[in-house]
Structure 1
C-alpha cells in the first residue's frame, strides 16, 4: 500500500513538473517589446499597433481558472474603466494551454468574458509564444508599456493584496500609470506577481 501511495505521489509530482515548468527569461523594465497579434474573443486579430491613440498599455496575463485571476477580475475591469479613456487600455491575455488547464479554452474565454462583461480585449496566446517573450510566470502578471517607445515601465502585481480587494493598501498599477500620465517614472517599477503558474505541457511546448 505504501509503495502504491509513493508511486502515485511521484506520478503527480512528475505531471506538475511537466505541465507547469516555463522559461523564466523575458523582458525587463526598460526593455523594448515586440508587437504581437493574437485572436480576441470576438474572433478578430488584435495587435498593439491597432491602438493609434494609445499612450501605453496595461498588459495583463490572466485566465479563467486561476483563483487569483478570478479574485482580480473586478480590479482589472476597474483599471480599464479608469485608464482606457486616458490612453492606457487593458490588454488581457490568456497564456494557458487548455489541454492542461481545463476551462481555459478559447470558447470558455468567450463565456467568461460575457459573464463578467469584460470591456477590454481578452486574447488567446494559442501557440504560447507571446508570454515567454515577456517572461510572464503567473496569472495575473502585469506589464505596463509605453506606446511611443514600446518600453516596459512596470512589471508585477496589480496591488498588494493578491485575493482580498478590501485589504488593498497600495495600488501598484494605478500608481505607475498615474506617474506615466504626468511624464514621470513610476516609483516602483517591479513587484512580485502572486498567482497561479502558467500552464504548459512540456511534451508539446517549445
Structure 2
C-alpha cells in the first residue's frame, strides 16, 4: 500500500549518523558524505516497487550531480528479519549490480530513520552547504504503472537551485512509496 511522506520544516539541521556501508563494510557518518553544495540523503530499500521503478535513473542522476559537487547517501531502515531481501548482504549485491555511486547504509536499529522522520521508500532529503534542509520530497511524478516517464525532475530542480546558489522552491511534492517496515516493539 502506497504511503505519502509528511511535510517537514525546511531549514531543519541534518541529524548526524554513523552507519555501516554495506558495499565497503565501513562506517559512514554524515560528516563523511556532507557536501559544501548539496547533500542528498535518501531512504530506499531493495524490494520496494517504487524504488525499483526509479533506481536506474536515480543512479544516473547521482552520477551526474556528483560531478557538479553534490553528494549522495542511501539508507535502508527496513526490518531485515521480516524482509530478508532488505538485509545487508542483499543490499551489497544490489549496490554492486547497479554500480551505486554512493554509500548504501544499513540502519539496523531504525533510529536514523526515526531521527529523520522517514516514512517511506523512496524518500529524499536535500541539505544545503550548511546542512539545512532545503528540499524534502519526491524524485519525480512517475509511479509504477502511471505511464509517466522517470526523469528525476523534482530532485533535479532542487539540486540545480542549490548548486547555482539559489533558493529551492517552497512548492515541494511529498514522496510516495512503500512504508518503512518498522520492527515490532
Check whether TM > 0.5.
Answer: yes
Q: Secondary structure of 1:158's partner?
A: coil
Decide which structure has the larger Cα Rg and report it: 1
Task: Give the equivalent residue in structure 2 for 1:153.
Answer: 134
Higher relative contact order (CA 8 A, sep 6+): 2
Give TM-score, length-normalised by structure 1.
0.79
1:71 aligns with 2:66: no
Contact between 1:63 and 1:104, CA under 8 Å: does it hold in 2? yes
1:171 aligns with 2:126: no
The superposition leaves residues 124-154 of structure 1 with CA deviations (integer Å, 9 ceiling, x where unpaired) of 111100011111111000000113x211000
Give TM-score, length-normalised by structure 2.
0.88
- Consecutive unaligned residues of structure 2, counting only runs of 5 or more, are none
Instruction: State the number of aligned residues.
Output: 180
CA distance in 1, matches of 2:98, 2:63: 14
Which is helix-richer, 1 or 2? 1
Q: How does 1:1-206 map to 2 (within 5 A)?
A: 27-41=8-22, 42-51=24-33, 54-147=36-129, 149-163=130-144, 167-168=149-150, 171-203=153-185
Q: Secondary structure of 1:74's partner?
A: helix
Contact between 2:8 and 2:136, CA under 8 Å: does it hold in 1? no
Q: Deviation of residue 120 (structure 1)? A: 1.1
